[in-house]
Amino acid sequence: MRFAAIGCFLLALTACERERRDLRPSPAKVVVFGDAAIQSQILPGGGAPRASVTNPFQGNAYAISEGQRLFGWYNCTGCHANGGGAIGPPLIKDHWIYGNEPANLFDTIVKGRPNGMPSWGAKIPEYQIWQLVTYIRSMNNLEPRSATPERLDTIEQSSRTILPKSEGEPR
């Protein structure tokens, strides 16, 4: 009985990171990560070690819910609808032109992309861009299952939306 209780307590500890709320983000200026998000395998001059960029909110449920709120507030929905895509491409898919790693998504939001994606770097504080990145990844089941909420009922599956398989299913 006692061991079961201690076991439950220890299991509960694992949930701490999931809900950690960073209410006082660093006011650091936006950093555009030079070549961290390069897609091409061909590197001129032989290539140098790349800067490793990590998402500070990886697996954080609070950041995902904040990202979800900002996704509406900053009118991402205007082009991408609730992730299913509208006049802009869907954000739930397997094939990403500019990559779906956190650094790639960050770069896409900061710099913008050709054919319509505006550059948000000057307008959205860096920590909120990371929250958006975490939310977008969570829609694609790229964040830990424990932190990912159910998809919104409002997400429409268009013909271009390819829902990724959830964990456990054969890929």
Residues that bind other proteins (CB under 8 A): 21, 23-25, 27-30, 69, 73-74, 122-128
* Alpha-carbon gap, residue 144 to 132, rounded angstroms: 16
CB of 120 to other proteins, least distance (A): 9
Least distance from other proteins to the Cβ atom of residue 76, Å:
11
Which is nearest to 158 in space by CA: 81, 105, 67?
81
Closer to other proteins at the Cβ: 90 or 121? 121
- Are 121 and 30 contacting, i.e. CB atoms less than 8 angstroms apart? yes
Nearer to other proteins, 123 or 160 (CB): 123
Q: Where are the alpha helices (DSSP H) in the chain?
A: 2-13, 16-19, 61-73, 77-80, 102-111, 126-139
What is the rounded distance in angstroms from the CA atom of residue 64 to the CA atom of residue 52?
22
Residue whose CB is less far from other proteins, 117 or 142 = 117
Which lies closer to other proteins via its Cβ, residue 91 or residue 127?
A: 127
Nearer to other proteins, 30 or 142 (CB): 30
Q: At closest approach, how far in Å is the CB of 27 from other proteins?
A: 5
- Quote the CA–CA distance of 109 and 117 in Å, as a whole number: 8
Least Å distance between CB 11 and other proteins? 27
> How many H-runs (helices) and E-runs (strands) does the chain carry?
6, 0
Q: How far is the CB of 16 from other proteins (least distance, A)?
A: 18
